[in-house]
Structure 1
Amino acid sequence: GMPSDHESGSCEHAHDQKVTKPRKSKSPDQEDGSKSKSSKTDAPLRPRESTEKSGKKKGKSKKKEEISADDILAKIAQLEASSHVGAASTVMAAHAPPVVPSKNIGLHIPADLREKFLNQVKITAQHKREIDMHQAKIAQLQKDREDILEDIEKVEEKKQKLDDLCKQLQDRNKQILENVKDRGEDEQKERKLLSEKFSAKITEITKNMEEQQQERLKMASENDKLRLEIERMKDDIMAKEAEFNVQHKQKEDGVTKLHTKLQNVEGNARAKEQEFEEWKGDVEQQSGVIEELRGQLGTYSGRFEAFQGTLARSNPVFQSYKLDMDEISRRIRSLEHENAQLRLKTMKLDIAIVDLSEQRAKDIKRLSKCEAQNLELHNMAKLLSDERAALRVQDKN
Structure 2
Amino acid sequence: VLRALNSLQTTEEKLAALCKKYTELLEEHRVMQTAAKQHSRKLSVVCREKEQLQSEHSKAVLAKSKLESLCRELQRHNKLVKEESLARAREEEEKRKEVTTKFQTTINDIQGQMKEHYQKNTKLREENIELANKLKNLIEQYELREQHIEKMFKHKDLEQQLIDAKLAQASLQITEAKESSLQEKQMLLTEATDAHKRVRVLEEQEVALRAQVAMYTEKYEEFQGTLSKSNEVFGSFKSEMEKMTKKIKKLEKETGMWKSRWEKSTKGLLEMAEEKTKNEKEISRLNNKVQKLESLCRALQVERN
Length-normalised TM-score, structure 1? 0.41
**8 Å contact from structure 2 (residues 199, 258) kept in 1:** yes
2:173 is aligned with what amino acid? L
Residue-pair matches, total: 191
1:150 to 122, 127, 130: 130
Identity of aligned residues (%): 8
Describe the shift of the 1:280–1:290 C-alpha distance in structure 2 as closer, same or farther (beyond 3 A).
Answer: same
Q: Tell me the residue number matched to 1:327.
A: 303
Q: Tell me the residue number matched to 2:253.
A: 278
Q: Report the Cα offset of residue 241 of structure 1.
A: 4.3
**8 Å contact from structure 2 (residues 199, 255) kept in 1:** no
CA distance in 2 between counterparts of 1:208 and 1:137 reads 98
Describe the shift of the 1:239–1:153 C-alpha distance in structure 2 as closer, same or farther (beyond 3 A).
Answer: same
Q: Tell me the residue number matched to 1:141.
A: 121
Counterpart check, 1:264 vs 2:244? no
Q: Could you say what secondary structure the match of 1:187 adopts?
A: helix
Q: Tell me the residue number matched to 2:275.
A: 300
Q: Tell me the residue number matched to 1:160.
A: 140
Q: Report the Cα offset of residue 203 of structure 1.
A: 0.5
Q: Tell me the residue number matched to 1:18.
A: none
Q: Normalized per residue, which structure has more helix?
A: 2
Describe the shift of the 1:252–1:209 C-alpha distance in structure 2 as closer, same or farther (beyond 3 A).
Answer: closer
Describe the shift of the 1:236–1:253 C-alpha distance in structure 2 as closer, same or farther (beyond 3 A).
Answer: closer
Deviations 1:162-183 (A, max 9, x none): 2321321222122122122123
Q: Tell me the residue number matched to 2:288.
A: 312
Q: Report the Cα offset of residue 185 of structure 1.
A: 0.9
CA distance in 2 between counterparts of 1:223 and 1:186 reads 54
Q: Tell me the residue number matched to 2:201.
A: 221
2:171 to 156, 170, 191: 191
**8 Å contact from structure 2 (residues 199, 259) kept in 1:** no
Q: Tell me the residue number matched to 2:159.
A: 179
Q: Could you say what secondary structure the match of 2:120 adopts?
A: helix
Describe the shift of the 1:252–1:323 C-alpha distance in structure 2 as closer, same or farther (beyond 3 A).
Answer: closer
Q: Find runs of 4+ consecutive structure 1 residues off by over 6 angstroms.
A: none
1:296 is aligned with what amino acid? E
Deviations 1:136-180 (A, max 9, x none): 965533433443343344334323322321321222122122122
The runs of 5 or more residues in structure 1 that have no matched partner are 1-135, 330-397
Q: Bigger CA drift: 264-273 or 314-323?
A: 314-323
1:225 is aligned with what amino acid? Q
CA distance in 2 between counterparts of 1:180 and 1:285 reads 53
Describe the shift of the 1:232–1:222 C-alpha distance in structure 2 as closer, same or farther (beyond 3 A).
Answer: same
Counterpart check, 1:209 vs 2:209? no
Q: Tell me the residue number matched to 1:170.
A: 150
CA distance in 1 between counterparts of 2:263 and 2:230 reads 48
CA distance in 1 between counterparts of 2:304 and 2:170 reads 29
Task: Write the mapping of 1:38-49 to structure 2, written as runs, cut at 5 A.
Answer: none
Q: Report the Cα offset of residue 312 of structure 1.
A: 0.9
Length-normalised TM-score, structure 2? 0.51
Counterpart check, 1:234 vs 2:210? no
Describe the shift of the 1:168–1:218 C-alpha distance in structure 2 as closer, same or farther (beyond 3 A).
Answer: same
Q: Could you say what secondary structure the match of 1:165 adopts?
A: helix
CA distance in 1 between counterparts of 2:200 and 2:278 reads 34
Q: Report the Cα offset of residue 258 of structure 1.
A: 4.2
